[in-house]
Structure 1
Amino acid sequence: MSVPQQTKELSLKGKHCLTISEFSSEEIQFLIDKAVELKTNGNGQKPLSGKILGMIFEKNSTRTRVSFEAGMLQLGGQAIYMNSHDSQLGRGEPVSDTAKVLSHYVDAIMIRTYSHERIQELADHSDVPVINGLTDIAHPCQALADVLTLKEQKGTLKGLKLAYVGDGNNVANSLMVISAKLGIDFVIAAPKQYWPAEKVVNECKEIAKQTGSSLLVTEDVVAAVKDADAVYSDVWTSMGQEEENEQRLKDFSGYQVNEALVNHAKPDYIFMHCLPAHRGEEVSAEVIDGTNSVVFEQAGNRLHAQKALLVELLKD
């Protein structure tokens, strides 16, 4: 009788988390499973005792700051908060110098900033893992929390249809990549000038061929939402785009997720939003505050997804 081979446990120790593209399908699933384990077992485990996370914020935050700080505390570690006004980065110190210095003080660095080139430079010169808390093109921690929520709500991921309605921004980019890697059919509906970058779309289409999923970018919002298992929205104007707000409100006027639109989704669809939300703009109050909405469970899962990431990147 042959003895079944044991599956080799994955190791993410020391790896950076800059985009979802850097993680394989197996690694993403590994992180989801770890998040479920940590969420189920509560706060009894302290695997990061003695570890310190340095947190750099160049953009405002509620969920990212509190979830990372709370996560480190629950795991037995500590977090140090820095913003651009408190650090030498705000006075023009080179990112490379900051990375080299912080590598002597902390066990990992999380940064929430504008330019993705800035976080890439930080990672290039850091001796400790660097985690993307949001940049202008990617939001990997949000995507991990999103698929954790989908798995909890639907019991499976492969074969689900996820419809994203709105700007092809950093959240859309990361959702699109993680969906392709996990076999989720992804559709994004937006005015053509707000579609995701063609490079990212083509990358995801190639991944989708391997996982058997599909990807569609369209202006037809009804077709996008038709028979969707989950409908996702985000603000039409992100931080740093305030001067475009008036034009964006006009351009997205037909893309509000409301009761009329979600009637085209499956009866048991779930509504998702990364928050903060603008009721009456990208989503109606009836939808986001309705019985199909899981936005607060989704926000809560930022804590558990990020705890899984921290544990695996920093494990001894």
Structure 2
Amino acid sequence: MANDGSTRHLISLDDLDDGTLRDIVERGAAHARRAGGPASTASSRPAGTPGATLAGTVVGIYFRRTSTRTRTAFTSGALRLGAGVIAYGPGDLQLNTGESSDDTGRVLSGMLDVLVARTADDPTEMRVWARQHRMAVVNAMSADEHPTQALADLTTLTLRFGSVDGLRVLYVGEGNNTASALTRGLSRYPGVHLELRTPPGYGLAPEVHRRAAATAARGAVVRERHDLAELPKDVDVVYTTRWQTTGTSKPDADWREVFAPFQVTAEVMALAPRAVFMHDLPAHRGEEVSAEVLDGPTAIAFDQAENKMYSAMAVLEWCRGTY
């Protein structure tokens, strides 16, 4: 396995500088355009198939939690770029019999070029695996952040609007790992306005706000409230996620009553007539979003899901330094 010093890890969007963040997003959008993917601007045209930029690369896919989109996106994306793939289920590695994370990472790094992992725990274990520089480690979702989801979202926005700069986004729902990553990503684009409306007691962690403020681009604004009064009407995007995040539980037994007002309905969308609707999926119609919205003409959630594959391709190429 070659080690040319170009291996890079993606544990958090905070690991990326502004230029790298934009490069990965633009690369994902380029893959989508080349394939004739969804949600492209009118000027986008298919331009053939991707090259085998990952030929000879072996990608490990290790998911301890359920996944449809992210696992399939990285598997399909790796195969399309010429890589081989080894998939591990939650009970497959000797971590279950007491092997240390450090030893596991050392072993895998001698055989894999990239490890894409979903633990749904804090990212400490992934940081342990990333101590070496032979195998790239990609966070496919941890408890506090879903960085590859945000990259897919930014790719979708780029395809839909031509640029993320200056967009106005309304997020409605829990301040979960998707919201955390979305905040970290959007705040890095000039002029972006992100307004989050989260249920009381279920907002973003203060550290996410602090980090977004510290890295915010010129003119970028992030605000959070815990009600649905005076919703902004001049937004380009309304975004939500399901109420029950993968691998988590709510501390409050009556949490559904707290979340109930934070549903994206046709009435909410009518307040922002030019907005598209986004959802990271899976969705629960009648909970966080009405069927009328999710299955309606303004929704681009399933385009967003497909774009996750093109974004995953860009992440894998960046990790290996092949573009």
Q: Distance in 1 between matches of 2:97 and 2:250?
A: 25
Matched with 2:295 is 289
The superposition leaves residues 214-266 of structure 1 with CA deviations (integer Å, 9 ceiling, x where unpaired) of 0101023243443211010011111233465852211111100001111222x
Check conservation: 2:235, 2:274, Cα contact below 8 A.
no
The superposition leaves residues 33-88 of structure 1 with CA deviations (integer Å, 9 ceiling, x where unpaired) of 21122223343411111101011111111111111111111001111100221111
Q: How many pairs does the alignment contain? A: 303
Secondary structure of the equivalent of 2:230? helix
1:309 matches 2:315: yes
**Residues 157-236 of structure 1 aligned to structure 2 (within 5 Å):** 157-183=164-190, 184-208=192-216, 210-236=217-243
Q: Distance in 1 between matches of 2:145 and 2:22?
A: 19
Runs of 4+ aligned residues of structure 1 deviating over 6 Å after TM superposition are none
Change (3 A) 1:157 1:222: farther
Change (3 A) 1:263 1:246: farther
1:45 matches 2:38: no
Q: Distance in 1 between matches of 2:6 and 2:26?
A: 16
Check conservation: 1:222, 1:261, Cα contact below 8 A.
no
Q: Distance in 2 between matches of 1:164 and 1:47?
A: 36
Compare 270-279 and 119-128 and name the one that shifted more. 119-128
**Residues 22-101 of structure 1 aligned to structure 2 (within 5 Å):** 22-42=15-35, 43-101=49-107
**Residues 235-274 of structure 1 aligned to structure 2 (within 5 Å):** 235-242=242-249, 247-265=254-272, 267-274=273-280
Compare 83-92 and 242-251 and name the one that shifted more. 242-251
Q: Distance in 1 between matches of 2:251 and 2:214?
A: 33
Matched with 2:117 is 111
How far apart are 1:122 and its partner, in Å?
Answer: 1.9
Matched with 2:151 is 144
Structure number with the higher helix fraction is: 1
Matched with 2:136 is 129
* Structure 1: gaps of 5 or more residues: 1-11
Letter in 1 for 2:218: T
Q: Distance in 1 between matches of 2:87 and 2:200?
A: 39
Check conservation: 2:171, 2:194, Cα contact below 8 A.
yes
Letter in 2 for 1:87: L
Q: Distance in 2 between matches of 1:224 and 1:181?
A: 23
- Give the TM-score normalised by structure 2: 0.89
Compare 218-227 and 304-313 and name the one that shifted more. 218-227
Secondary structure of the equivalent of 1:65? helix
Check conservation: 1:47, 1:315, Cα contact below 8 A.
no
Q: Distance in 2 between matches of 1:227 and 1:174?
A: 23
Q: Distance in 2 between matches of 1:94 and 1:126?
A: 18
Change (3 A) 1:155 1:37: closer
CA RMSD of aligned residues (A): 1.7
Q: Distance in 2 between matches of 1:311 and 1:111?
A: 16
Secondary structure of the equivalent of 1:111? strand
Secondary structure of the equivalent of 1:283? coil
Letter in 1 for 2:313: K
- Give the TM-score normalised by structure 1: 0.91
Q: Distance in 2 between matches of 1:180 and 1:289?
A: 29
Q: Distance in 2 between matches of 1:100 and 1:65?
A: 23
